[in-house]
Amino acid sequence: MLLKTSLRSFFAHKGRMLLSLLAVVLSVAFVSGTLVFSNTATSTFDRLFASTASDIAVQPAKSGLDGEEDAPRGITATVPVDTVQRISATPGVKTAVGQVSTQDSTLVNPATNKAIGPTSGAPTVTGNWTETPRNPVEITSGHVPQGADQIVLDADTAKKAGLGLGAKVRVIAGSAKYDFTIAGIATFKTTNPGAALAFLDTATAQRVLLGKAAYTSVEVFGDGSRTDDQLKADALGSLGAGYQVKTAAEQKEENNKDVGSFLGFMKNAMLGFALISALVGGFLIINTFSMLVAQRTREIGLLRAIGGSRKQVNRSVLVEALILGVLGSTLGLGAGLGLATGLIQLMKAVGMNLSAADLQITADVPIAGYGLGIAVTLLAAWFPARRASRIAPMAALRDHGTPADSRSNAVRTVIGLVLTAGGGGLLVLAAKADKAATGGQYLGLGVLLTLIGFVVLGPLLATSVVRVLGALLPALFGPSGKLAQRNAMRNPRRTGATAGALMIGLALVIGASVFTSSVIKSTNAQIDKSVGADYIISGGRTGLAPEMVKAAENTPGIDHVTGQKYLPAVLTTPDGKTAKEGISAVSPTFTADFTMPVQSGSPDSLNQGAIVVGQDFARDHGLRIGDRIGVDYGKGRTQSLPVGMILTKGNSLFDGNYFIGVDTLGKAVPVADQGADAVVFGKARAGADVAKTLAALEESFKEYPQVTVRDQAGYKDLVQEQVNTLLYIIYGMLGLAIVVAVLGVVNTLALSVVERTREIGLLRAIGLSRRQLRRMIRLESVVIALFGAILGTGLGLAWGITGQQVLKDQGLETLAVPTGTIVATLIASVVIGLLAALVPAFRAGRMNVLAAIATD
């Protein structure tokens, strides 16, 4: 009986459930699509790595730095050529193939002088062509490289660059340039993880990429008589020291680590925004069921009068919500497959080829989809169901609605004030916290409490704020304006819930904008204060070879250049603790080109054999000026250096860095093993035209497209571009939540029009024109949207400003409030209100007056 009643009620009001259903569909689609995409990508790469890994791989021994294999730029570790013969003699080995593979060369199209292949993310891999039992690629056009002037490109890279058989490709290794002719095109057998691949013959690859006859690894394939672990043990026993050996499983785990970190971050970020959308959708569902319960007050009263219990009424509403959740989740799962396919196509556009024909729909997809959809609808409908069950039969039969419970309103107000005050207090504590980690914890909890507090206080705030927002409406729009203001204030709970959905999305938009604007302004201020060099020259992944540095030094208008190398090292402090860190080895002119934030010590010590450390590192290890730190560069190369200066924290250009002079480094590490400069800073000669010198520098590096040359203004633009890219991604992710919030406004207005059918008929009967009626609904919508935007702006400013204060000592020292974004948000809210009212206003204007008055 209960199920039949619920089903009849649901399908009788199916039109009014449509937008709530759409909100559930969108949220579930986002979650299920993300999971399907993540599962598909993970499965694809698992198959790729499993099908291409050798049984064991023999590689150069680790550097000894806590098991890490980092190396200075331009330095490639190798194994001797005779390793192939030695490992081939090991029992159980069927095939051993010497392989050359590097990621520090650049592929260039000589016709355009532009780099081909990815500029970030996946690498450009150049090596030798080998025939192995598990080659990841196969020649699909042309042939393998057969001479010192031939090269093979992967099909994706060749297609993007517009290159085919017979075209020229230049390989830049270090500062040397080598031209080749494309002899073959290779296609991935499973998928392309986004990398660019180029293959030379073995002798050429050794000469061009390594500068000697050697291999970067030896790939070994067994005959099946021994397990991979046994092959590994035998290989280590026969080869001795100087090698490391990895089984197929270890290779797969290592490869998955890099790809998995990217996919994991992407998955978690998208799921986070999907949950935000689901939360916003919950407000829409609450409003839908609240209004349906109010409209069905007489129906519920009749049900109670004929013997229906409170529990049965409660369950009937929840069963309707369950139907909505199941139906929405089912449709959302289908839509999620479409979203996953779209994400796969997007990844193809950036070079990661995945197949939409092999979507991985594992058990977690329907579990998460139905779990989210059903949970959101049941939780959202619980409040209206609870109110429905409390309707007394006689009170319900007397009127279409029930009076507000003043006691519950008072309790709601107290709870809201307590939560908001508590959240505000936590935000204050976060801003004043000594440590960023502590401040971050306070900030997270403060954001949660203030958000819940504002949601709970929404009805109370609606009455006062909407009164202010709508104060001018009667004067500007006459009766339509006055009615719009009163309608928005008529049901504060409904207005608060509708505006709350919009508030959440806009609060996150404003908070993110404040944070990113502060990042840009703080970085620019630090550049102005700390950087005396006029130009920043970066070699990207490959670094800057000595010949490139020499080219910068010889550029007309350049006074001097300052190089900066990065090397991995293990630091041992006097307290006996060790830390794996990156060391910056800089030229003597570094102290002239940069103003370093000094807490104690002297910048001159950098050129006197000392090490410069940060304030936090010094505090954590109790370091003072003159204390000695052991520096281990690996391969037995160590130094004991005194602390010459401690840097004050709060400058992102220096925080977390450790500096030594390049001359100091040279006493422990030979120049040949120091690697290339990662970045070079140029200083213009006194009286030189800075702009012309910049043009001259660009001319000096025109044959090296991987090198970027920027002045300080260009570097600031780069920082802004990078931060804005992150911000636009956040905006895009929040777009779904804002769309759902807009649907909530449309839903509220549409159901409100149905609820006020008789009222609208009476208004029309006493002279309100269709135009005035439509204007009334549009103005009501605008007021509700503005109310949500104002609450969201206030919350977003509080969150963003607190976030900046939490990270003030971490380099985010300058607060920037993006007034343009705030104004744009408020204007956008007006537009949202107008758009949301289009359909409800149109439907209201078309009502038949007599039929509307006769509506029960």
Question: What stretch of H or E contains 504?
Answer: helix 492-530
Distance, C-alpha 710 to centroid of its chain: 26
Structure tokens at 765: 């009967």
pLDDT at 219 > cutoff 80? yes
Range name among 304-308, 376-380, 398-402, 477-481 with the lowest pLDDT average: 398-402
3-state secondary structure of 558: strand
pLDDT of residue 798: 95
pLDDT of residue 408: 64
Within a 10 A sphere around the Cβ of 727, how many other Cβ atoms? 20
Instruction: Tell me the mean pLDDT in the region 102-128.
Output: 86
pLDDT at 842 > cutoff 90? no
pLDDT in tens, 4-58: 666 666 666 666 678 788 888 988 998 999 999 888 888 888 877 877 889 999 9
pLDDT of residue 456: 87
pLDDT at 774 > cutoff 60? yes
Higher pLDDT, 306 or 421: 421
Q: Which residues pair with 169 in a beta bridge?
A: 180
Angstrom CA distances, 444 to 300, 557, 849, stand at: 42, 51, 53
Angle between helix axes 406-432 and 770-806 (nearest 10 degrees) is 40
Burial class (CB in 10 A: 0-12, 13-18, 19+), 672: exposed
Nearest to 280 by CA among 21, 27, 501: 501
pLDDT at 416 > cutoff 70? yes
pLDDT at 64 > cutoff 60? no
Cβ(211)–Cβ(76) under 8 Å? Answer: no
Give the separation between CA 744 and CA 493, rounded to whole angstroms: 14
Range name among 417-426, 464-473, 610-619, 683-692 with the lowest pLDDT average: 464-473
Cβ(228)–Cβ(248) under 8 Å? Answer: yes
Structure tokens at 400: 């279409």
3-state secondary structure of 152: strand
pLDDT at 117 > cutoff 60? yes
Instruction: Tell me the mean pLDDT in the region 133-161.
Output: 92
Average pLDDT, the chain: 86
Confidence of residue 68 (pLDDT cuts 50, 70, 90): very low
Instruction: Tell me the mean pLDDT in the region 544-557.
Output: 92
Within a 10 A sphere around the Cβ of 277, how many other Cβ atoms? 29
Higher pLDDT, 808 or 166: 166
pLDDT in tens, 629-661: 999 998 889 999 999 999 998 888 888 899 999
pLDDT of residue 10: 66
pLDDT at 587 > cutoff 90? yes
3-state secondary structure of 433: coil
Percent of the chain surpassing pLDDT 70: 93
pLDDT of residue 66: 47
pLDDT of residue 550: 93
pLDDT at 154 > cutoff 90? yes
Angstrom CA distances, 581 to 105, 568, 603, stand at: 25, 6, 21
pLDDT in tens, 728-757: 888 887 887 888 888 878 877 777 777 778
- Looking at mean pLDDT, say which of 90-94, 355-359, 462-466 comes out highest: 90-94
Max Cα–Cα distance, the chain, nearest Å: 103
Range name among 29-38, 47-56, 218-227, 588-597 with the lowest pLDDT average: 47-56
DSSP string, 285-336: HHHHHHHHHHHTHHHHHHHHHTT--HHHHHHHHHHHHHHHHHHHHHHHHHHH
Percent of the chain surpassing pLDDT 90: 42
pLDDT in tens, 340-350: 898 888 877 76
Within a 10 A sphere around the Cβ of 70, how many other Cβ atoms? 14
Higher pLDDT, 353 or 588: 588
Within a 10 A sphere around the Cβ of 7, how many other Cβ atoms? 14
- Looking at mean pLDDT, say which of 406-410, 725-729, 818-822 comes out highest: 818-822
Cβ(252)–Cβ(228) under 8 Å? Answer: no
Structure tokens at 772: 């005035």
Range name among 120-124, 250-254, 499-503, 628-632 with the lowest pLDDT average: 120-124
Nearest to 452 by CA among 512, 500, 498: 500
pLDDT of residue 94: 92
pLDDT of residue 271: 86
Higher pLDDT, 102 or 191: 102
